[in-house]
Amino acid sequence: MFLDFLPIWGLLLATIAVVALALEGGFRLGKRQQLLSGGKSEVSAAMVGATMGLLAFMLAFTFNGAAGRHDARKALVVEEANEIEKTWLRAGFLAEPYRSEIRGLLKNYVEVRVEAASAKMDLQAATRQSEALHAKMWALAEEVGRQNSASITNGLFVQALNEVIDLHLKRVTVTIRNRVPTPIWATLFVLMVVGMVMMGTQIGIGGKRHLGMEVALAIAFSVVLFVIADLDRPQEGLIDISQQAMEELQHTLNNR
């Protein structure tokens, strides 16, 4: 995705630098225009206000989307933990050796999910391992089904296992694939640069600088973009997705 090559703290510093440079460039442009026009140049406050208002709208829109996906990720952790536990319990209906094999694979599966969420394992590697475990568990489920296709309890187990596999796709989609699109990031940065240049130009024409307020403005906009990026990168930054439900399940399964 856009700017993923930058660590999240690097993105914050880069954004502060871009905003500060845009303000400085606008200020110098305003001073130059003021000198060339003999003090008669000005920038429409309405135009600056409209640009900053559009930027604020885009920031709010993007933040709302990123926060919604963050909430969806948290809900999916609880839902997946419940479905894995249900599959574990229903595996108890199976005859040996299928019961022990399935439960062993489910333990490994939970371990992979917890390690991926805690950034101990790369997301791509975790996805591959999860899908390999799906294939092994489903192969065992097929064997169980062929041996007794009329069994209601076997059917309940297969249904629960199918839900676990479906939830994996949901988590991959929400965590890896559904993120802030590149065009939106590009729009945010373009609007931010244009708005800051216009504001800097207005300050330059006015002739009075307030460096403290300019720095505060640069930090404020950069922090908002930082929070959006933090919400958009589940394995980085300060905003974590609680894995308590999955960790408690791991503890429970390891003690059974």
Q: What pLDDT is recorded for position 204?
A: 81
Whether the pLDDT of residue 186 is over 60: the answer is yes
Give the residue-averaged pLDDT of 153-174: 91
List C-alpha distances in Å: 58 to 103, 193, 241.
48, 14, 25
**CA 128/CA 178 separation, integer angstroms:** 19
**CA 53/CA 58 separation, integer angstroms:** 9
pLDDT band at 2 (very low <50, low <70, confident <90, very high): low
**CA 249/CA 64 separation, integer angstroms:** 31
pLDDT band at 43 (very low <50, low <70, confident <90, very high): low
Report the chain's mean pLDDT, rounded to a whole number: 87
Q: What pLDDT is recorded for position 107?
A: 95
Q: Which domain holds residue 130?
A: 8-254
Does residue 14 fall inside a structural domain?
yes
DSSP state, residue 93? G
pLDDT band at 248 (very low <50, low <70, confident <90, very high): very high
pLDDT band at 157 (very low <50, low <70, confident <90, very high): very high
**Percent of the chain's residues with pLDDT above 90:** 47
Q: How many domains does the chain have?
A: 1
Tokens describing residue 127: 């996805």
Whether the pLDDT of residue 123 is over 90: the answer is no
Does residue 3 fall inside a structural domain?
no
Give the residue-averaged pLDDT of 209-232: 86
Residue 110 CA neighbour count, 13 Å, CB half: 26
pTM here is 0.82
Does residue 231 fall inside a structural domain?
yes
Whether the pLDDT of residue 221 is over 70: the answer is yes
Does residue 2 fall inside a structural domain?
no
Tell me the per-residue pLDDT of 62-104, one tens digit each, with 9 for 90 and over: 999 999 999 999 999 999 999 999 999 999 999 889 999 999 9
Closest by CA to 88, choosing from 73, 113, 108, 118, is 108
Q: What pLDDT is recorded for position 7?
A: 85
Closest by CA to 163, choosing from 137, 191, 129, 200, is 137
